Amino acid sequence: AARAFASLPRASRAFERRTMSDSSATTNANYGCEGELCNFGWVEVLTHISPYWWGNLGVAFGLGLSVLGAAWGIWITGSSLVGAAIKAPRIRSKNLVSVIFCEATAIYGVIIAIILMTHISEPEARFSRIQADSWDWNTFFYAGYAVFAAGLGVGLTNLASGISVGIAGSSCALADAQNGDLFVKMLIVEIFASALGIFGIIVGIIMSNDAEFPE
Amino acid sequence: GAPWRLLSFGARAQLCSSFSIPIRCGADMSHGGLTTFNIDHGFVEAMVRGFRSGFLDDNDYTRLQQSETLEDVKMNLKADTDYMGFLDNDNELSPALVRDRAVSKLVEEFEYLQAQASEPLYTFMEYIKYEYMIDNVMHLLKGTLSGRSPEELMAQCHPLGMFKESTMRAIPTFESSPKGYADLYQTVLVDTPVGQYFDLWLQERQEMIANPGEMRSILDEVEVEILRNSILKLYLEDFYHYTQRLGGDTAEIMGHVLKIRADRHSINVTLNSFNTRLNDASTRASERSLLYPGFGYLYPEATQKLASCGDEGSLGEVLSMYTLYRPVWEVHMNQAFGGDSIDDAFYTQEVETLELAFESQMHFAAFYAYLKLKEQEIRNLVWICECVQQRRREYIGKFVHIFSLQSPWRNRSKS
């Protein structure tokens, strides 16, 4: 049994439960790590982090960074809109479109968070009873990394998109207050800025399509 | 950067004071670029840009120029301009009254903007006010020399630069001499923001005050005009360095604006000194160079040459080398043929420079530009009123249009 154990690749031994009989054995049996806390090198650290951590962190980044970008954009454009509407009240309704564009990036964040959460599923078997050779480690790790990267990608693109729409919206409100003809043309700038968020969510969805945590 | 700006001003001040090593950490040093300017200043900036739409445009000026009497002017202003109703309570119209009411309206708008401002914009707007404080102090000092009453002088002070009434009453009581100014500073002005400039000026003239009899100088008594120019020079330098510390677009645009202002100051000092004792060949280089600001496009090479200029010819030679000021000088040379004066040329240049402040966003220069452009508009209005009142209609068009599509600098490429 020990030989079979030693023949498996290092990463696959990651989450084996250490039985009591091995407690006095060499530290090599600690989850297959060389260091006592599995920190003998970056490879050991990264491969001994649970893919559930990566997956849920991806959901958090996807939602959190998107909302951060949307909020940033809304206060950049909202403060200018409120100030400019004092002298030119006619711009109030039309320029709310800038705020709506910013809000859309937050909605992309919610969408990707929900999609990613449906990929993450708790396994039916108790984790401690996983048999090393019957668990689909490759899919497990792939799923973790894919969900993380999808979430992080969407979060960062929405952060950039939100700030960009905010700055463009602020200038749009000020320009519209001076000359109403400028509004529609400047709206096109904002449309291009919010397209950045759409790129992010498209790539995120495709990236996380094959990610399935094994049961 | 951005994380720093996201803290509140109080939090930043606390963090700065908790550093033990002397790093340059100012809680109010900068105002953030594109991404963080709007936290503190988005609302106020949007308001000042809303006020920009209140400038009189070409149609308004055309209607005003067709007025026959001052009552017509009042009616034309009531017709859908920003000046609606500012003369409603007055029946005896005169250009001076129009100016007073317009200045009150402008000051009200400026104070309203400053009330909404947070640091560092508040300090920036305070700096703008210092210039008017200096003007008021000089006005009070000068008026006393010609024996006018303090009440009359205080009524003529600019409302943006008012001190407490007790301070203003005390200023005319001091004598016009270096010793008198030292006393004035120590007892009255030390509490005011402009006291620091008097302090600097007094330090420069320390020898004159201590040994007035032994000091050989062309100024036996310091004229109020020279005092005024010196204090203004110190103020401009301080303001310039403050805008440079603010950094970003404010430093760039305000730097350009203030450099042109400083150069205008230098040129005017030189031009006005030609028939006075300041032009005395033996001492003019050392005395006059004290009045030139230590920054600007003319600094340092041209100001050195200007200090030793004896007449308009040499002044013209120096200015012809600078593309910014050659056209201004040419206007001055052509004045004899019935053209504009050098002041008109400077006003036109100022309007052209200040309009640039509204071309970009997320900086403070728009506040300075708004105040100065509104002042130019008030000068325009008063000019029109005076021409109408005196029936000199041929000069009624001699003012500078603001934000006009017909401005010469907008049509250069087409001509």
Distance CA B103, CA B375 (A): 8
Q: Would you call A39 an interface residue with chain B, using a CB distance cutoff of 8 Å?
A: no
Closest CB to A86: pick one of B45, B50, B361: B50
Q: What is the mean pLDDT of chain A?
A: 84
* Inter-helix orientation angle B365-390/B58-65, to 10°: 20
Closest CB to B38: pick one of A80, A177, A178: A80
Model pLDDT, residue B218: 31
Tell me the shortest Cα–Cα distance from A74 to chain B, in angstroms. 11
- Quick one: average pLDDT of B342-351? 93
Are B28 and B9 in contact by the 8 Å Cβ rule? The answer is yes
Closest CA relative to residue A215, chosen from A128, A126, A148, A142: A126
Tell me: ipTM over 0.90.
Answer: no
B230-278 pLDDT, tens per residue? 999 999 999 999 999 998 899 999 999 999 999 999 999 998 888 777 7
Percentage of residues of chain B with pLDDT beyond 70:
87
**A54 token code pair:** 């990566």
Model pLDDT, residue B1: 57
Model pLDDT, residue B211: 54
A137-156 pLDDT, tens per residue? 888 899 999 999 999 999 99
Quickly state the pLDDT bin for A28 (edges 50, 70, 90).
very low
- Pick the more confident residue, A146 or A24: A146
pLDDT at B45 over 80: yes
- Pick the more confident residue, A155 or B87: A155
Quickly state the pLDDT bin for A57 (edges 50, 70, 90).
very high
Model pLDDT, residue A9: 57
A167-192 pLDDT, tens per residue? 999 999 999 999 999 999 999 999 99
Model pLDDT, residue A20: 39
Q: In this complex, do A173 and B46 lie within 8 Å of one another by their Cβ atoms?
A: yes
Least confident of A192-196, A205-209, B51-55, B180-184: B180-184
How distant is the alpha carbon of residue B22 from its chain centre? 35
Model pLDDT, residue B80: 77
Residues 146-185 of A with CB under 8 A from B: 163, 167, 170-171, 173-174, 177-178
Model pLDDT, residue B163: 82
pLDDT at B144 over 80: no
Quickly state the pLDDT bin for A61 (edges 50, 70, 90).
very high
Q: Which of A161, A167, A176, A179 should we substitute to test contact with B (largest number of B Cβ atoms within 10 Å)?
A: A167
Model pLDDT, residue A92: 93
**B216 token code pair:** 């050989």
Model pLDDT, residue A19: 43
Are A204 and A62 in contact by the 8 Å Cβ rule? The answer is yes
Distance CA A53, CA A215 (A): 16
Tell me the shortest Cα–Cα distance from A205 to chain B, in angstroms. 29
**A5 token code pair:** 């154990």
The one-letter amino acid code at B304 reads Q
Considering Cα of A183, then A189, then A195, then A200, what sign does the dihedral take? negative
Quickly state the pLDDT bin for A13 (edges 50, 70, 90).
low
**A184 token code pair:** 């529609």
Closest CB to A79: pick one of B43, B51, B52: B43
Q: Would you call A92 an interface residue with chain B, using a CB distance cutoff of 8 Å?
A: no
Are B293 and B270 in contact by the 8 Å Cβ rule? The answer is no
Are B57 and B373 in contact by the 8 Å Cβ rule? The answer is no
Are B381 and B98 in contact by the 8 Å Cβ rule? The answer is yes
Q: Would you call B395 an interface residue with chain A, using a CB distance cutoff of 8 Å?
A: no
Residues 6+ apart with CB under 8 A from A120: A52, A55, A56, A59, A143, A147, A213
- Quick one: average pLDDT of B203-212? 64
Alpha helix positions (H), A49-136: 51-84, 91-94, 96-119
- Name the burial class of residue B159, with classes exposed (0-12), middle (13-18) and buried (19+) by CB atoms within 10 angstroms of its CB: middle
Q: In this complex, do A167 and B44 lie within 8 Å of one another by their Cβ atoms?
A: no
Distance CA B303, CA B129 (A): 27
Model pLDDT, residue A195: 94
DSSP state of B172: G
**B360 token code pair:** 């970009």
Model pLDDT, residue B307: 86
**B207 token code pair:** 């020898």
pLDDT at B287 over 60: yes
Model pLDDT, residue B7: 67
pLDDT at B367 over 90: yes
Closest CB to B42: pick one of A76, A88, A178: A76
